[in-house]
């Protein structure tokens, strides 16, 4: 496996530096690899020792309660051990890559550059304001690339005339914007980002800003009014398009709407150069047919585009991911066009990077581990997972393994179909509507063997995983200047709901017949299988986190010791395991360019997720698994509330609304505070806490982490504070939990006047002395 990994990394260097060609890209291993491996060996031994300790304790458990407590700790630690083991995939061969886009022109003519189809998905004009979707489209239409080779397809799952209107306006504005960017060599090619930046104030720039602002006002006014009225419709062609929104048209039930807004073969910008294609697609929807959310939308675009332009390269983008670097496409081409690797390369993934994260990143919106550290690690093995946006695909990879092409039902959809008719010709448009039909996929391979794969709410992860299992490779491209900037939830409920959806989607893969733990390990080997499995089982972090958030504290409240004493050598094992894991985690984070404060918030948020979205995600998944409930893809809102956004800027947590997830979180905060303060009280009264030190430490650590929650409950008065209903429910439930725990732990507490501590590991010698009636010191 290791040899295979090194081979893949190595072949990329050879591919480009031999044969007399100037190199397109290089790859080199990261310096920390040796340290990671040595440390892994030591840490693995410590985990084995801990498991031995648990086994021993379990075996000598004197009572059912202590047996159950040890069992809970053992299960938690087994889950932690699983995550630690699977993290090694990301630590064994991390690599870092460089591209040389300037060399592309030396090995191929500009006219031979492959064409690109961009897929932009949007689903709700109110959660995803059309003006920002327009910015995303404009930013990629203006790539440094032969313009006529770019086609942008916008998928509107919201089926909204407002979005179509915005894009009609965008098509007009683009004829000014594209030549402006290219002539002035602008870096920020999303107008919004450009006007926010420190740009020059030439008369040309001022002029273009006026045109942009007037478009923006028009689009926003139409959005406010909720409909496109007559005064905004300027041609018969536009009227014809909007006429499709008849009375029976709803977002869940409507015919396909496909509108060519710019045609590269005809339309010219104001300087006379050709424009990219711009096509609006809202696939047919009908309440009786499953639409498979984003994966379904992308498959509809795959079909519509193969019949219209059939570019060999596809870029998938979420509506909020604006390009931040016009060179990105050329960078991706350094891999996609490299003859040495392209035949097995499915995709080139750029990391998700966000604009507008607050200084210390309180909601861990940066996802450094998920999108950068882990993907860099997988990149050195067989390639990163697909993260849904900012990813350039070979169209061919959606149609079977590298060695055997699966032909779709009709030849026009095949990746090798040659488009020979204009995109606006009658027959092309008719076929486009036909393949955007909601029943088109019935009895076909779409979603199972062809295209984006169905069956999980995280279609990105699942599709990338299945492609890799078919034998495709992938590459992470993480240039210094971020290639795309996305939008991050700036409100706690949104962030947790998003991650609850991910948790459910990942568990759907984990417990499917294509589980990475079984199918994945079989087809990709242990390293890749485990790397994918770590993500799939993401939500079961909730088991150890919830256990450690409540169990030691409840035991502490009842003065029952469940960990080794400070004087025992097992204590040092615990200390090493904790400090080792935390230290290495911090090191990884900082070496990937994060600050220590952000790391601190990252670990805090990991605990928060453990008792909220991971927990509720797992519960929802199992209910769904048992057929009791169903969950859908709730789109994350990208619209910003000014007041919330101000609090976010200041780094203040946003609660505001009641949510069951806030209840469990508040319960954990209360229980930890009470147990820690009670323990502290005992210390001040002069009682010996040696046997309870670890429990004191854990609850103290949690109290420090929970500070923003106490603030939100008691010290704040703004609209983002903890709703009183949440606090009351959490307090009642915490009380009930406390009572239940006292009842359960009662038989274990030894009452001898002082602060009694039970230690379940009965030491033979101690036992003897105890039997002889000697005091033990
Ligand atoms: O029925 C749907 C639902 C969503 N979307 C689009 O999917 C994208 C992602 O939705 P969002 O609400 O932003 O979800 P996130 O959780 O932020 O998205 C992350 O997680 C998703 C699921 O794994 C991936 O698809 C995304 O690429 C990834 O950025 C957006 O452009 C939506 O418009 C659709 O087109 N149709
Ligand atoms: Mn998103």
Is the pLDDT at 253 greater than 90, yes or no? yes
Nearest Cα residue to atom 36 of ligand 1: 294
- Number of Cβ within 10 Å of residue 525's Cβ equals 15
Give the pLDDT confidence of 284-305 residue by residue, as tens digits. Answer: 999 999 999 999 999 999 999 9
Sign of CA dihedral 656, 662, 668, 671: positive
Is residue 157 among the annotated active site residues?
yes
Is the pLDDT at 577 greater than 90, yes or no? yes
Q: What are the Cα distances from residue 510, in Å, to 209, 537, 609, 613, 727?
A: 49, 6, 19, 17, 35
What separation in Å is there between the alpha carbon of 318 and the centre of ligand 1? 6
Residues 681, 693: Cα–Cα separation, whole Å: 13
Give the pLDDT confidence of 301-358 residue by residue, as tens digits. Answer: 999 999 999 999 999 999 999 999 999 999 999 999 999 999 999 999 999 999 989 9
Instruction: Evaluate: CB of 319 within 6 angstroms of ligand 1.
Output: yes
Is the pLDDT at 581 greater than 50, yes or no? yes
DSSP assignment of 320-382: T-EES-TTHHHHHHHHHT-TTTTTTEEEEEPPP-BS---TT-TT-TT-IIIIIIHHHHHHHHT
Instruction: Evaluate: CB of 689 within 6 angstroms of ligand 1.
Output: no
CB 258 within 8 A of CB 429: yes
Is the pLDDT at 21 greater than 60, yes or no? yes
Q: What rounded mean pLDDT belongs to the chain? A: 92
Is the pLDDT at 771 greater than 80, yes or no? no
Give the pLDDT confidence of 47-84 residue by residue, as tens digits. Answer: 999 999 999 999 998 888 999 999 999 999 999 999 99
pLDDT the model gives residue 31: 84
pLDDT band at 747 (very low <50, low <70, confident <90, very high): confident
What separation in Å is there between the alpha carbon of 131 and the centre of ligand 1? 17
pLDDT band at 279 (very low <50, low <70, confident <90, very high): very high
Q: Residues 712-735: what's their mean pLDDT?
A: 96
pLDDT the model gives residue 19: 53
Give the pLDDT confidence of 608-626 residue by residue, as tens digits. Answer: 999 999 999 999 999 998 8
pLDDT the model gives residue 205: 96
Residues 705, 604: Cα–Cα separation, whole Å: 6
Give the pLDDT confidence of 116-154 residue by residue, as tens digits. Answer: 999 999 999 999 999 999 999 999 999 999 999 999 999
Residues 774, 772: Cα–Cα separation, whole Å: 6
Nearest Cα residue to atom 10 of ligand 1: 635
CB 233 within 8 A of CB 240: no
Active-site position among 77, 320, 361, 460: 460
pLDDT band at 246 (very low <50, low <70, confident <90, very high): confident
What is the pTM (predicted TM-score) of this model?
A: 0.93
Active-site position among 117, 157, 379, 494: 157
Q: Which residues surround ligand 2, an ion (CB under 5 A)?
A: 636
What separation in Å is there between the alpha carbon of 722 and the centre of ligand 2? 25
Alpha helices in 519-568 (DSSP H): 521-536, 542-557
Could you give the dihedral angle defined by the CA atoms of residues 700, 704, 705 and 706, in that order, rounded to the nearest 10 degrees? 90
Of 561, 391, 404, 411, give the one whose Cα is nearest residue 478.
Answer: 391
Q: Residues 528-532: what's their mean pLDDT?
A: 97
Nearest Cα residue to atom 22 of ligand 1: 458
Is the pLDDT at 736 greater than 70, yes or no? yes
Q: Residues 746-751: what's their mean pLDDT?
A: 60
Q: Residues 744-771: what's their mean pLDDT?
A: 47
What share of the chain in percent tops pLDDT 90?
A: 85
CB 331 within 8 A of CB 479: yes
What separation in Å is there between the alpha carbon of 664 and the centre of ligand 1? 27
What separation in Å is there between the alpha carbon of 354 and the centre of ligand 2? 10
Give the pLDDT confidence of 465-522 residue by residue, as tens digits. Answer: 999 999 999 999 999 999 999 999 999 999 999 999 999 999 999 999 999 999 999 9
Ligand nearest to the CA of 633: 1
Give the pLDDT confidence of 665-683 residue by residue, as tens digits. Answer: 999 999 999 999 999 998 8
Instruction: Evaluate: CB of 318 within 6 angstroms of ligand 1.
Output: yes
């Amino acid at each position: 496996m290791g040899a295979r990994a090194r081979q893949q990394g190595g072949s990329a260097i050879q591919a480009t530096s031999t044969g007399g060609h100037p190199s397109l890209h290089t790859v080199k291993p990261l310096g920390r690899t040796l340290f990671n491996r040595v440390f892994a060996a030591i840490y693995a031994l410590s985990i084995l020792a801990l498991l031995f300790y648990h086994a021993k304790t379990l075996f000598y458990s004197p009572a059912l309660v202590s047996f159950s407590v040890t069992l809970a700790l053992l299960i938690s630690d087994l889950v932690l051990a699983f995550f630690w083991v699977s993290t090694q995939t990301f630590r064994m061969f991390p690599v870092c890559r460089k591209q040389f886009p300037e060399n592309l022109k030396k090995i191929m003519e500009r006219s031979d550059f492959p064409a690109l189809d961009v897929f932009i998905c949007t689903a709700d004009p109110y959660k995803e304001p059309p003006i920002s979707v327009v910015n995303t489209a404009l930013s990629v239409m203006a790539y440094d690339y032969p313009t006529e080779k770019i086609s942008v397809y916008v998928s509107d799952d919201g089926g909204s005339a407002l979005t179509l209107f915005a894009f009609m306006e965008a098509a007009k504005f683009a004829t000014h914007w594209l030549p402006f960017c290219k002539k002035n060599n602008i870096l920020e090619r999303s107008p919004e980002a450009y006007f926010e930046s420190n740009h020059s104030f030439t008369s040309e720039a001022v002029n273009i800003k006026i045109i942009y602002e007037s478009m923006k006002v028009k689009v926003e006014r139409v959005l406010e009014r909720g409909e496109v009225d007559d005064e905004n419709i300027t041609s018969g062609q536009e009227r014809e398009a909007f006429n499709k929104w008849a009375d029976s048209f709803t977002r869940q039930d409507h015919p396909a709407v496909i509108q060519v807004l710019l045609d590269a073969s005809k339309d010219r910008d104001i300087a006379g150069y050709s424009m990219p294609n711009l096509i609006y697609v809202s696939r047919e929807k009908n309440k009786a047919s499953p639409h498979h959310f984003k994966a379904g939308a992308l498959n509809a675009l795959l079909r519509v585009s193969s019949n219209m332009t059939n570019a060999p390269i596809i870029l998938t983008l979420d509506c909020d991911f604006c390009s931040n670097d016009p060179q990105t496409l050329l960078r991706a081409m350094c891999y996609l066009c490299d003859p040495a690797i392209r035949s097995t390369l499915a995709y080139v993934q750029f990391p998700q990077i966000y604009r507008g994260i607050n200084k210390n990143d309180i909601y861990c919106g940066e996802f450094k581990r998920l999108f950068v550290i882990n993907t860099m690690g997988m990149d050195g093995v067989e390639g990163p997972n697909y993260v849904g946006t900012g990813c350039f695909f070979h169209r061919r990879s959606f149609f079977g393994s590298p060695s055997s092409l699966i032909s779709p039902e009709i030849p026009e959809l095949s990746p090798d179909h040659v488009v020979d008719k204009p995109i606006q010709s009658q027959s092309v448009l008719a076929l486009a509507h036909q393949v955007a039909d909601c029943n088109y996929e019935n009895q076909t391979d779409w979603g199972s063997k062809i295209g984006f794969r169905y069956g999980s709410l995280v279609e990105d992860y699942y599709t990338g995983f299945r492609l890799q299992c078919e034998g495709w490779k992938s590459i992470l491209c993480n240039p210094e200047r971020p290639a795309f900037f996305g939008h991050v939830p700036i409100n706690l409920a949104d962030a947790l709901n998003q991650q609850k959806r991910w948790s459910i989607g990942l568990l759907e893969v984990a417990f499917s017949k294509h589980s990475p733990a079984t199918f994945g390990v079989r087809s990709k080997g242990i390293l890749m299988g485990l790397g994918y499995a770590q993500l799939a089982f993401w939500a079961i972090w909730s088991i150890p986190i919830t256990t450690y958030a409540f169990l030691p504290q409840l035991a502490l409240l009842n003065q029952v010791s469940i960990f080794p004493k400070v004087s025992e050598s097992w204590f040092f094992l615990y200390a090493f395991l904790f400090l080792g894991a935390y230290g290495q985690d911090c090191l990884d984070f900082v070496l990937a360019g994060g600050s220590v404060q952000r790391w601190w918030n990252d670990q805090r948020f990991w605990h928060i997720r453990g008792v909220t979205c991971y927990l509720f995600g797992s519960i929802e998944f199992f209910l769904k698994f048992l057929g009791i409930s169903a969950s859908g893809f709730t789109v994350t809102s990208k619209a910003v509330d000014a007041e919330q956004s101000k609090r976010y800027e200041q780094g203040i947590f946003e609660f505001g609304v009641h949510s069951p997830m806030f209840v469990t979180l508040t319960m954990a905060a209360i229980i930890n505070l009470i147990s820690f303060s009670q323990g502290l009280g005992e210390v001040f009264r002069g009682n010996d806490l040696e046997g309870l030190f670890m429990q004191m430490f854990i609850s103290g650590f949690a109290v420090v982490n929970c500070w923003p929650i106490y603030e939100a409950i008691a010290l704040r008065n703004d609209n983002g504070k903890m709703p009183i209903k949440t606090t009351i429910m959490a307090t009642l439930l915490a009380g009930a939990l406390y009572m239940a725990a006292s009842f359960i732990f009662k038989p274990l507490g030894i009452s001898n006047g002082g602060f009694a501590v039970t230690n379940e590991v009965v030491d033979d010698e101690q036992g003897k002395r105890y039997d002889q009636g000697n005091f033990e010191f």
